[in-house]
Amino acid sequence: MTERLDAHRTDAPTLSAQYQPGDVEQRRYEQWVAAGYFRASTDSEKPPFTIVIPPPNVTGSLHMGHAFEHTLMDALTRRKRMQGYEALWLPGMDHAGIATQNVVERQLAAEGLSRHDLGRERFVERVWQWKAESGGRILGQMRRLGDSVDWDRERFTMDEGLSRAVQTIFKKLFDDGLIYRAERIINWCPRCLTALSDIEVEHTDDDGELVSIRYSDDVVVATTRAETMLGDTAVAVHPDDERYKHLIGTEVELPLTGRRIPIVGDEHVDPSFGTGMVKVTPAHDPNDFEIGQRHDLPSLTIMDERGVITAHGPFQGLDRFEARPAIVAALREQGRIVAEKRPYVHAVGHCSRCRTTVEPRLSLQWFINTSPLAKAAGDAVRDGRVRIEPADMAKRYFAWVDNMHDWCISRQLWWGHRIPVWYGPDGEVVCVGPDEQPPTGDGWHQDEDVLDTWFSSGLWPFSTLGWPEQTADLAKFYPTSVLVTGYDILFFWVARMMMFGLYAMDGRPPFDVIALHGMVRDQFGKKMSKTFGNVVDPLDWIDRFGADATRFTLARGANPGQDVPVSEEWCQGSRNFCNKLWNATRFALMNGAHCTGPVPAGAQLSTVDRWILSRLASTVAEVNELFEAYEFAKVCDVLYHFAWDDVCDWYVELSKPVLAGGGEQAEVSRRVLGHVLDQLLRLLHPVIPFVTEELWTALTGQDTVLTAAWPTVAGEQADTAAEAEIATLQTVVTEIRRFRSDQGLRPAQRVAARLDGLTGAGIAAHKPLIRSLVRLDEAGDDFQASATLAVAGAVSVALDTRGSIDVAAERARLTKDRAAAEKEAAQARAKLDNPAFLGKAPEPVVAKIRERLATAEADLARITAALEALPS
């Protein structure tokens, strides 16, 4: 050590008696933004680290899923910034075509208007007005959470640059023959009045009915959608089904219509399902459409875009769900209903935005041929260019990209990127790029549809960096380093970004790692839902417990790929953890802890100092390893126990007698305590940035921990001897404290005691410290051992408790406790001795009973020893 260790500082900064998040968070965040700490520079020579935010909907507000995901992204970004990377976390929002249009249409409806009253141009202007006034609330809420995003680079999927990117890639795909227009069966929402892609349809098991209908004496079919029979153009059987071979090529009359339709043989039909005959409605079922294509069957559309029957006859004008029972009733009158099964549980598709039952519908739409794009996306993971964490999630990814259908990208909306295709008066079709002029003249018009929202958000990792221009941002920050997102949108978004990134960026994938996390659930593992009444507003937790407590609660449950249970009780515990750090740092400052000068080393260090530095080294190494594996929950757990147990509960307590004693050793401990807290606060900063900023700047006198160097193990050394010695000391202290408690001694009550065997245990030097920690006085001439305890091998403790406790009352208390423990043990043992219980109970239940028995038996041993130790 090169400098003299003087008496502790008298100019140390002070902290308030309690931590008040509301006094810190907004002030600190504004300071960070004003200082430009979140801005990333393309001129920097530092290696890049890039995350693009999964863009929240412009209609959205911060919910627990956002808070969770943003906490993880912010933790990664802050750590990399401290590690010396040029860290860019790019923010932005998605225009959310259907959701946003619905919001504005509801506003218009309240005014007695529809979008058609305004017309397309004025309606889009109205949406932009809404976006400027009410959209993007979530961006301000992200500030409250502490997101260290580069606000100067904020993007929106409808801004000028991203719109140019959309036009560019559409034109490229069109010219390469990967975009086409065709009549296909698509998912249609009769409420949103637009096509949906497969991933925008959520399937649930709903109660319905299965009706078997006799078309003729030889033909019986079963259906869950009787109304679609009005559009039947065939009945299909398997060509090898001996029961029906003779019918193939004949015709049958379709009930209620008078039309005659053919019976065809098709290998798609499963002979073992139902009667082995299926009705074929090519315009209203994707499988039937394929059968129709193979057999050149006509496609009859029998309902309109709102799900209203259009087929001529008695059912015309009925809603699809009104027509279904009416048609069944009519068939029943004719004696054609062979069987009815209610309820019949089957999978039904619903619009993911409005929950309306989706209607398969034949429609002229724009599609992307995904086959070559999906193969490239699969290859990038298979050959190791992109890593999925956790690795076992890769099979979900492959299951999707290896079996991807062509993607319907056109939407019948007005809000969104309009399809850049013009149609001429003589059937011409022209795709117009961003630098091209659309054709003009009589009869030319642009396609009315807009692109699927996921089309533009699929470009997000590179369009936000300036593509198609070759910008400095693109050169510096693409590909991005890691995508942090939920496994639930692996198909919605991740696969699309992979396809577009590889296609547009010359085979370079959009990210190096895909880190998948689970869904936030309540403490019982139940999905959060307004219906269940268990939805938690993260802003409420931030108001009550602070942003740090909210973030720590979420991160502490973040095991890769697994769902995340949270509860208010756990958030309260996280707040207590922040308070514990506050109190420990406040104590350190009040006792002169500081970070000036080098950390003492060698013979200057006590065993206690060597121990805490060794524990720090182990913690730094473990935290770094866990961060690289995206094990956020384990990172938090390691830091929690190091901070609470090692630093606050043990090192601070072990240092108090030394600090109170003054002198050279006290100054060494002040410097070590300052160093340990300095490093601990740096380690915790990525997860709990506000309280660590306030404490670290007070401790070090520097401007911000946000740009401080990230801890490494280079400056710390493991000291196994010191760790073993202090572990023995901790065992002795813990056992004596427990024994005192069992004897009914108050924590502050001093008792005469004799300590033997400390030399053999290797902790004789700590004898004064042990006595100080457990309130034991030296044994005087009148000492008389009334209670003894053997701990840590050779160490034994004899206490003189005469006059210190009410022996009779303590005996009565322990006797009562022993009776309760005996009862608990007997109940658990009876269950485990019962073969019927063991044969029926699930293994986790049996394991819990075994654990109860072990705990009860341990309590019995402890209580019995305490009773025996009581003076007679």
* Sole residue written with tokens 């940035």: 689
Task: Write the secondary structure of 827-851 as one string of H (helix), E (strand) and C (coil).
Answer: HHHHHHCCHHHHHHCCHHHHHHHHH
* Sole residue written with tokens 């004789």: 764
Q: What is the DSSP letter of 284?
A: S
Measured in degrees and rounded to the nearest 5, phi and psi for residue 783 equal -60, 135
Distance CA 863, CA 868 (A): 9
Handedness of CA 102, 108, 113, 117 (dihedral sign): negative
Distance CA 733, CA 279 (A): 80
Q: Give Cα 182 to chain centroid, integer Å.
A: 38
Q: How far apart are the first and last CA of the chain?
A: 57
| 767 annotated as belonging to a binding site for a ligand | no
Q: How many CA atoms does the CB half-sphere of 106 hold within 13 Å?
A: 7
CB-based contact 267:290 (threshold 8 Å): no
Task: Write the secondary structure of 447-466 as one string of H (helix), E (strand) and C (coil).
Answer: CCCEECHHHHHCCHHHHCCC
Distance CA 241, CA 218 (A): 14
CB-based contact 290:301 (threshold 8 Å): no
Candidates 720, 632, 623; CA nearest to 681 is 623
* Sole residue written with tokens 């009930």: 255
Concatenating the DSSP letter of every residue in 779-813 gives P-TT----EEEEETTTEEEEEE-TTTS-HHHHHHH
Handedness of CA 757, 760, 761, 762 (dihedral sign): positive
CB-based contact 82:685 (threshold 8 Å): yes
Measured in degrees and rounded to the nearest 5, phi and psi for residue 490 equal -55, -35
CB-based contact 681:693 (threshold 8 Å): no
Residue ranges at the known binding site: 530
Residue ranges at the known binding site for ATP: 530
